[in-house]
Structure 1
C-alpha cells in the first residue's frame, strides 16, 4: 500500500519523471514499511496523513519525491496494449492484473514490495557488488562477484516461490480456481501476509522483477563511462552491453563466478556517510532520473551525471524493459516445466487475465 497522502499515477496517464533515490537518511528507507504496516493494521489515523520521507531506490509511490518508476517500466514491458488480449498463453497482463503486479493509484503492487519491507536488504536491490580493476581498490573481484551471486540467488528464490504458489490457481482437472483468482479487491504484498493464490504467485514474480530492474540502473552493464574523464572510482568503466544479462535469467540454472564479466560493477550504498570509503558508490553509478512513457517505454531527459553520458539512461531503461519481458517468458516456461503443458499454460492465463474463470478454459 502507499502512505496516505501520496497520489498514484493514472493508468495510461501522462509521461512522468523518474527519480530513483538511494541517498536519504535511514528514516526514509523505513517510512514506506511503517506506513504500509499502519495501513494494513487499520492504524492509519490522523498521524498517517502527515507526509513521511520517501523510501530509497527506484520509486514505488507517486509523491514525496518519487514517481512510481518501477510501475512504469513494468507496464511498458508487460501491460496489454489497448485492444490486445493476453491469449491463452498469457502474453501480457490485463488492467486489473497488471495493477497487482506493477501497482497503480492506491497500491504499490508486487513490484514495490521490497521497498516497503526489504529496503535495507542489499540482495533485493543488487547493490554492493562494486569492483574496479585498479591497485588499492578495497574490494576484490571475488568479493564483488560473491555479492552479485547472492543477489541473483535471492531473486531466484522469489521467482521460484512465485512458481510454487501458482499451484492453487488451476486444479488437476484443469479448472481455474474462482476464489484464488478473484481480484475484486487489491492484493496485499508486504509484511509476509499470505493472500489469494494469484496474489501470492504475482508477489514472488514481482519481488524478483524489482531486483532485476534495479540491476540495470545500479550497474555498468548497459552504460558507458564519461570519455572526458579518466577511468576511476568517480568514473568506472561501462560495459555497453545491448541486451539483458544472461546470468540474470532467473528461470535458468544458477550462474557461477565465471559467468560474471571481470569489469562488471554495481554501486556501494550505505546509510553511514563514511560506509563506502573509497569504493564506487550508487550515487556515482546510478542512471535513475529522467522521463519514461509507461506505454512505449520511451526514456528521455536524464538528470543524473551517469545517465546523461552517451545515452546511458535510455540504455538502462530499454534493457530493463527487455529483461522484464524475458523474465515473464521464463516464468511461463517454468510453470509448464513444473506443472505440465495444460496446467502450466492455464496458470499463466490465470495470472494475466482479469476474469480467468471465464477466459482460461
Structure 2
C-alpha cells in the first residue's frame, strides 16, 4: 500500500545518492515525494507502511510474544521506526523503479480502445505476485540460520543490539535476512490495496480513466497467495481489476489509468488500532476508500505472517518451525526461545 516511492503509500522515493548510511541504520537526509503507502514522515507521507505493519503485527503493550506477534525491538526491524525504513520500507530505498515490487502498471479498463489489454495487465500483476513470492521464500530460507544444528538459538544470528540493514543487498544476521524477505513481501501486498481497485468504490458518475470502476471486494485477496510458489492464474483475475501506471516521465502513462487516478497512499493511520482519518488523495477521499485500503492491508499483513509461520513449520517441522518463529518475534530469543528440557 504504501511504498515510499516518488508518489507509493506514497513512494517516498529515496535517492540513495542523497541518503546517509549510518551503521547499520539507513537514515534519510533528502527525499523526493513518491507514490505509495508512505514510508517517511514528510512530503505528505505519514509513515503509512510502518503504521499498517504495527497495527497488524504488534504485541499488546507489556505483553510477551507467543510467537504470533512481534515484541517492540523486533517489530522496529519489520516496520521501521523514526529515522529508519525497516524491512517493510526497504523497497522504497532500492526498488523504487521496480513496478513488480509495488504492484504497479497492471492497468486495464474494459472500455473499447484502452491502450493496454487485459492480458498485458494480468502479466504485470503476475510479475508482482511472483516477485513477492520470491521475497517470501527468501525469508523462509534465511530463517533457518537463527538456530544451530542442535536446535539452540544462534546468538550471533539473532542479536538485535544493532539495527538491521535492509538496503543495497548488504548481507546481515539471519534474523535480519528473514525479516527482510518477509518485510519486502509485505510492502508489495500493502501497496496492492492502495494501488488497485480491489477494495474500492468508484465515485458517482461515469467510470473511466479518471474514475476507474471499484470492485469493493474483501481482504485478504486470494490473488496474493505467496506460499508454495504457485503462479497466479490469469483466470483468477477479475476482468475489471486495475492498478495504476506509474511513471516519472511527463505523459509517460499516456491515456492509461495513472497512479494519481487510483492511489489511496496517504492519510492518518492509528498504529495501535489501524483506525484511519484525513485521507489526502482524491481516490482515498472517495467513498471511504482510504479506510478500506488500509484495513485490507492490515488484514492481509496478518494473513501473510500467519502463512509465513505455517511455511516455517512445513519446511522445518513443528518444533523447529515454532522455535524459529519465536526467535523472529522475541527481543531476547536466547533467553525466551531455548529448547525446553
Same fold flag (TM > 0.5) = yes
- Paired with 2:132 and 2:140, the residues of 1 have a C-alpha distance of 13
CA distance in 2, matches of 1:318, 1:53: 27
* Cα distance in structure 2, aligned partners of 1:42 and 1:67: 20
Q: Deviations over 1:251-282 (max 9, x none)?
A: 24332111111110000011111111111111
Pick closer, same or farther for the CA change 1:43–1:305 going to 2, 3 Å. Answer: closer
* One of 122, 125, 129 as aligned partner of 1:148: 125
Confirm or deny: 8 A CA contact 1:128 1:266 kept in the other structure.
Answer: yes
**Residue among 326, 334, 339 paired with 1:349:** 326
TM-score, length-scaled by structure 2 = 0.92
Whether the 8 Å CA contact 2:148–2:154 is kept in 1: the answer is yes
Task: Measure the CA separation in 1 of the matches of 2:319 and 2:334.
Answer: 15
Query: Counterpart in 1 of 2:300?
Result: 323
1:75 to 36, 49, 54: 54
- Does residue 246 of structure 1 match 2:225? no
Provide, for residues 222-254 of structure 1, a one-character-per-residue CA deviation record: whole Å limited to 9, x for no partner.
011112x20111111110012211120212433
Aligned equivalent of 2:37, options 58, 62, 66: 58
Distance 1:356 1:283, change over 3 A: same
Q: Is the 8 A contact 2:51 2:271 kept in 1?
A: yes
User: After superposition, where does 1:1-361 map in structure 2 within 5 Å?
Assistant: 31-36=14-19, 38-39=21-22, 51-87=30-66, 90-227=67-204, 229-252=205-228, 253-361=230-338
Match of 1:289, SS? coil
- RMSD, aligned CA: 2.2
Distance in 2 of aligned mates of 1:118 and 1:299? 27
Alignment CA distance shift 1:148-1:360 (3 Å): same
1:63 positional shift: 2.9
User: What is the CA–CA distance in structure 1 between the aligned matches of 2:301 and 2:269, rounded to whole Å?
Assistant: 15
Task: Tell me how far 1:51 sits from its aligned partner.
Answer: 4.2
Gaps of 5+ in 2: none
Deviations 1:196-218 (A, max 9, x none): 11000000000111100000000
Q: Deviations over 1:36-70 (max 9, x none)?
A: 465469999xxxx9744345433222234432111
- Report the counterpart of residue 15 of structure 1 in structure 2: none
Query: What is the TM-score when the length of structure 1 is the normalising length?
Result: 0.87
Matched-pair contact (CA < 8 Å) for 2:58–2:75? yes
Quickly say closer, same or farther: Cα 1:191–1:79, change in 2 above 3 A: same
Other structure's SS at 1:331 match = helix
CA displacement 1:11-33 (0-9 Å, x = unmatched):
xxxxxxx9977656xxx976442
- Conservation of the 8 A alpha-carbon contact between 1:168 and 1:180: yes
